[in-house]
Amino acid sequence: MTDAPALTTAADTPPTAARGLAGRLMRNPLGATAAAFLAVVVLASFAAPLLAPGDPAAASLKDAFADPSGAHWLGTDSAGRDILSRLLYGGRETLLGALVTLGIGLALGVPAGLWAGYRGGWFDAVADWCANLVMALPAMIVLLASRAVIGPTVWALMIVLGVLVAPAFFRLVRGIVTTVRGELYVDAARVSGLSDTRIVTRHVLIVVRGPVVITVALVAGIAIGLQAGLEFLGVGSGDTPTWGAMLNEAFKSIERAPMLLLWPGLALGLTNAALVLLAAAMRDALEDRGTPARAARTRRAPAPEPARERKDASPAVPGQRAALLSVRDLAVAYATPDGTERRVVHRVDLDVAPGEIVGLVGESGSGKTQTAFAVLGLLPAAGRIARGSILVEGRELTHAAERDYRALRGKTLAYVPQEPMSNLDPAFTVGSQLTEPLRVVLGLSRKEAATRALALLREVEIRDPKRVFDSYPHEISGGMAQRVLIAGAISCDPKLLIADEPTTALDVRVQAEILDLLRRLRDERRLGVLLVTHNLGVVADLCDRVAVMQTGRIVEVGDTARVLHTPTAPYTRKLLNAVLDDVPARAPWRPDPARSTA
């Protein structure tokens, strides 16, 4: 259910993403500069016969190593040839060479990638194997070996290089197409009877366009660099001026005239840098993301405002604060990419007494999880507590240092996450993940910790504790993983368990078992539990009290029976109606405008 919105956006964005690319690119100063510079290089190189002040090959030994002058703006080289003319003509050779490589690479890589990704099967297997083979070949060695066969023509070598870069395009396109193939709009196109060729050209090609353009820029840089490298090594006819050949000649007289390296070096370096920067700007424009610097700023955000006496009527019971967890006037804010802050939790009051199970219900995005993370002190880097008070066993935590928080986590506060699999480290066995906190937090020896971890696994009703202890997370089931996470949460004997949708990812039968387990742990250990859920059935089954959250605010709080039988807030009534809609004997379908806006 959480996947649904992500799926539709992923399917919606690619076709629109590429459209505004040029516009967004031009608004990025670095990207615009790079694009402008490349345009100048391309124009100047192809207009070389018009712009060049002299013949690039006209040598004149008496002018050798001349300084810049009116006749030779950039001076002359070791044979007295005009450097500016050679730069311009060299640019043309270099760019044409890169074009050849790109043409071959695209012609081979893109269609093969489209077909392999779309169709799969034997073609995919063979093409992928070939791509792997080519990628294991060091390009420079292959190019040098090729010149032994085809002679010292850089043009032919650039064709070989085109074959060598084709896997880059193949891999890219194949990867994207494989993900896109399963998506809804491609299915829809297939259902509507379009031929495969038409689907690939009309729907799939459009998705790969942006990433391919970025790769073109990067590969062009690689091609220009390798080409210059080859010419620097002396592979080439020697008559045509190229940037690499100019560097080669300059290097020979490095002691006498080191400045000769400057111009071809600059031309090569700046052109390549412009290509890389352009690629980076295009990637940013495609992803349309903020810079990481902004996220860092929030870390030095101002301290939260202190809790204030409130004049408006509070939906929570005012006055006395619970002994275990007491939250007052809590606000959580997130930094947004444009530099402002957005509050996702407003003025939340919440109490959990020892041995009490309190439900925190609301739809996705209502701020339940953010409230839970704020209590644990585990908000993501961009989030912060903007104001309010969090008391745990009477201790104020909103200003607490990370070190003080750490002393509470495990021993006082514990956390059971929603998605069992992603919350276990795939690289470590279950046993090692259970014993590590026991050894670090409680200072147990390796053996004591192992004994205790096995006891914990038995306590959460795992039938074969030894096997699970030795397993890696991918070797156990989701329900088993959730039990392991509960075992981990209670391992250091906490007082308050914060469980974030602990049953949502599990099937119905396992859900009931996990809820029974939580109830038993509460009874045996007098645990206080803050149960974050969107499921009113779970609340009715388990919770003593319940707080209802909507768009970051608590709209109703009270004993579970009272709230479920005589709700006062309209939102609670709506949630209850939604549950009734879900009972097996369905009422006739009717549109619910309020639901679709939420």
Partner 1 sequence: MLLFTVRRVLSGLFLLFVISFLAYLLLSVQDIDVGQQVLGMGARPDQIDAKNAQLGLDRPMPAQYFDWLGHALRGDLGTSWYTGEDINQTVSTRLPVTLSLMVGVTLVSGVVSFLAGTWAGLRQGGIVDKGIQFLGVLGYSVPGFLLTLLLVQIFAVQLKWFPAIGYTPFAESPGGWLSTITLPVIALSTGAVAGVSQQVRGAVADVLRQDYVRTLRARGLPPHRVVLEHVLRNASAPALSVLGMQFVGLIGGTVLVEQIFALPGIGSMAVTYTARGDVPAIMAVVMVSVIGVVLINLLVDLAIGWLNPKARAAA
Nearer to partner 1, 260 or 563 (CB): 260
- Which runs of consecutive H residues, i.e. helices, occur in 341-429? 368-376, 402-408
What one-letter code names the amino acid at 151? G
Given 28, 101, 272, 503, the residue binding partner 1 (CB under 8 A)? 272
Integer angstrom CA distances of residue 135 from 113, 138, 206: 15, 8, 26
Residue 225 binds partner 1, judged by CB under 8 A? yes
Q: Write down the residue that tokens 């003593």 correspond to.
A: 544
Among 32, 139, 510, 598, binds partner 1 (CB under 8 A): 139
Tell me the C-alpha distance between 460 and 483, whole Å. 6
Of the pair 276, 598, the CB lying nearest partner 1 is at 276
What's the count of helices (H) and strands (E) in the chain, helices before strands?
25, 10
Nearer to partner 1, 186 or 372 (CB): 372
Q: Which residues pair with 414 in a beta bridge?
A: 497
Shorter beta-carbon distance to partner 1: residue 144 or 515: 144
Output the CA–CA distances (angstroms, integers) from residue 523 to 323, 345, 442, in the order listed.
18, 31, 24
Site string for partner 1, 442-481 (x = CB under 8 A): ------------------------------x-x-------
User: What are the tokens at 505?
Assistant: 């990812």
Separation CA 285–CA 466 (nearest Å): 52
Selected from 17, 21, 100, 277, the binder of partner 1 by CB under 8 A is 277
Identify any residues that bridge with 517 across adjacent strands, giving them in sequence order.
Answer: none
Q: Which stretch binds partner 1 (CB under 8 A): 13-21, 169-177, 456-464, 489-497?
A: 489-497
Nearer to partner 1, 220 or 538 (CB): 220
Using CB under 8 A, pick the residue from 42, 57, 66, 137 that binds partner 1: 137
Q: CA dihedral defined by 352, 348, 538, 488, rounded to 10 degrees?
A: -60
Q: What is the DSSP letter of 413?
A: E
Q: Does 598 bind partner 1 (CB under 8 A)?
A: no
Q: Work out how close the CB of 235 gets to partner 1 at its nearest, in angstroms, rounded to a whole number.
A: 8
Pairing of strands 357-361, 383-392: unpaired
| Residue 275 near partner 1 by CB under 8 A | yes
Q: What's the closest the beta carbon of residue 31 comes to partner 1, in angstroms?
A: 13
Shortest CB 100 distance to partner 1, Å: 18
Minimum CB separation of residue 499 from partner 1 in Å reads 11
Q: What is the CA radius of gyration of the chain?
A: 33
Scan residues 537-596 and list those touching partner 1 (CB under 8 A).
none
Residue numbers 318-347 binding partner 1 by CB under 8 A:
none
For residues 113-132, which are near partner 1 according to CB under 8 A? 132
Instruction: List binders of partner 1 among 366-385 (CB under 8 A).
Output: 376, 378, 381
Region near partner 1 per CB under 8 A, out of 10-18, 194-202, 230-238, 518-526? 230-238
- By beta-carbon proximity to partner 1, the closer residue of 137 and 579 is 137
The answer to whether the CB of 116 falls within 8 A of the CB of 124 is: yes
CB of 476 to partner 1, least distance (A): 12
Q: State the minimum distance, in angstroms, from the CB of residue 302 to partner 1.
A: 18
**Of the candidates 97, 105, 109, 221, which one interacts with partner 1 according to CB under 8 A?**
221
- Interface residue with partner 1, options 8, 69, 251, 396 (CB under 8 A): 251
Dig out the tokens for 57 from the structure.
């090959």
Q: How many residues bind partner 1 (CB under 8 A)?
A: 81
Residues 37 and 267: beta-carbon distance below 8 Å: no
Which residue in 136, 141, 134 sits closest to 162, CA to CA?
A: 134
Of the residues 80, 111, 175, 229, which one makes contact with partner 1 according to CB under 8 A: 229
Q: Which of 112, 286, 264, 159 is nearest to 215 (CA)?
A: 286
Element (H, E) at 448: helix 446-459
Q: If we measure between CA atoms, which residue out of 500, 305, 499 comes closest to residue 385? A: 305
x/- letters, 201..220, toward partner 1 (CB under 8 A): -----------------x--
Least distance to partner 1, CB of residue 278, Å: 10
| Half-sphere exposure for 523 (CA within 13 Å, toward CB) | 7
How many CB atoms are located within 10 Å of the residue 163 CB? 17
**DSSP tag of 410:** T
Least separation in angstroms between CB 251 and partner 1: 6
Q: Which of positions 387-426 make contact with partner 1 (CB under 8 A)?
A: 402, 406-411, 413-415, 417, 419, 422-426
Span near partner 1 by CB under 8 A; candidates 70-78, 247-255, 351-359, 574-582: 247-255
Following DSSP, what letter does each residue of 152-173 receive, concatenated?
Answer: S-HHHHHHHHHHHHHHHHHHHH
Element (DSSP H or E) covering residue 199: helix 196-199
CB of 59 to partner 1, least distance (A): 23
Q: Supply the minimum distance, in Å, between the C-beta of residue 305 and partner 1.
A: 25
- Distance between alpha carbon 240 and the CA centroid of its chain, in Å? 47
Residue 529: strand pairing partners: 357, 497
Give the three-state DSSP class for 257.
coil
Residue closer to partner 1, measured from CB, 50 or 148: 148
Q: Out of 491, 503, 560, 572, name the contact with partner 1 by CB under 8 A.
A: 491
Closest CA to 372 of 407, 432, 338, 332: 332
Residues 20-79, interacting with partner 1 (CB under 8 A): none
Indicate the residue among 88 and 489 with the shorter CB distance to partner 1. Answer: 489
Maximum distance among all Cα pairs of the chain, rounded to whole angstroms: 104
In the complex with partner 1, which residue's Cβ is closer, 252 or 562?
A: 252
Q: Which stretch binds partner 1 (CB under 8 A): 196-204, 389-397, 488-496, 570-578?
A: 488-496
H-type helices in 471-586, by residue range?
478-490, 508-525, 536-542, 560-565, 570-581
